[in-house]
Amino acid sequence: MYLAIQAVRQDGQFSIKTLCEIAEIPRPSYYKWLNRKPSVRELENQKLTKAMISLHEKVGGIYGYRRLKLHLCKETKQKINHKRIQRLMQLQGIQSVIRRRKRKKYAASTPQHVAENLLNREFTATKPNEKWVTDVTEFKYGHGQKAYLSAILDLHDNTVVSHVFGHSNNNSLVFQTVKRAMKAASKSKPMLHSDRGFQYTSLRFKKLFGKKITHSMSRVGRCIDNSPIESFWGTLKCEKYYLHTYQNFEGLERDIEAYIHFYNNERLQAKLNGLSPMEFRTKAV
């Protein structure tokens, strides 16, 4: 109520006396509030709010109160309750962007070879390059044109260790992704888990990578067997792709590359002790 009186008073159309009478507030109470000094808690909230709004604008509103809390704790080097951040967000009228869900369509294929589900939903790893998950996802731009992203995610730290963006969902897209990952981890022989897409079940894939990786595959129609990479696709699309309309391949590719860099190096995760994937990975190495 006091803030409302102060805001209306600045217009100069009404006197303090009139506004206090309308609000049924004694004038001395208003002046006491006006001249009071903010508490330490209020000053802290002012600083937090300023930092929160700055971060909210920087990331385009994609963070909710939990992730804002992680970043603010790291920035201020203080313990902050997530409920406090949630309350400050409500006072400022800000919230994370609304997530849109897309159903994934599966294309039937005849596998040339099939691997067992060795991963068996054990989505944790004790060290980098022990367990990888991979998949391909589709994007649209222009007038119904399509682009595809192939990526490999390390289950130890959620780092995107390799990715390739292209015009076609073909063997080359997937093989390049695996080759890049293997080059970066030349001394490792990871388990690579995939779905039963035609690229992964081809004899050529087995010939190229059969001795370099331990291949694991999801069961038929069980996307939950590969849920970490599915979760990453959802995050990428909700926090970047769905927020924009792309007219050309180059603009889409630029944003995808920028987001993956952001995800690996700046996006903090609670399950990684409040670190980004690359920070967590670097500490492990």
Confidence grade of residue 199 (pLDDT, cut at 50, 70, 90): very high
| pLDDT for the residue numbered 182 | 95
| pLDDT for the residue numbered 110 | 67
**Long-range pairs for 182-190: beta carbons < 8 A, 24 or more residues apart:** 182/209, 182/212, 182/213, 185/128, 185/129, 185/161, 188/129, 188/130, 189/213, 189/214, 190/129, 190/130, 190/131, 190/132, 190/214
User: Positive or negative, the Cα torsion across 230, 232, 234, 236?
Assistant: negative
How confident is the model over 250-254, as a mean pLDDT? 97
| pLDDT for the residue numbered 23 | 81
Helix (H, G, I), strand (E, B) or coil at 161: strand
Cα dihedral 203/205/210/216 (nearest 10): -100
Best mean pLDDT range from 1-10, 86-95, 237-246: 237-246
Q: pLDDT tens, 25-53?
A: 888 888 887 788 778 888 888 888 898 88
| pLDDT for the residue numbered 175 | 96
Helix (H, G, I), strand (E, B) or coil at 166: strand
| pLDDT for the residue numbered 112 | 77
Confidence grade of residue 100 (pLDDT, cut at 50, 70, 90): low
| pLDDT for the residue numbered 92 | 84
| pLDDT for the residue numbered 105 | 57
Residue pair 275/282 in contact (Cβ under 8 Å)? The answer is no
Backbone angles phi, psi at 194, to 5 degrees: -140, 175
Orientation of helix 82-92 relative to helix 40-58, angle to 10° = 80
Residue pair 241/139 in contact (Cβ under 8 Å)? The answer is yes
Q: pLDDT tens, 144-192?
A: 999 999 999 999 999 999 999 999 999 999 999 999 999 999 899 999 9
pLDDT at residue 271 greater than cutoff 70: yes
Residue pair 125/156 in contact (Cβ under 8 Å)? The answer is yes
| pLDDT for the residue numbered 21 | 85
Backbone angles phi, psi at 231, to 5 degrees: -65, -40
- Residue 90, token pair as written in the block: 């409500």
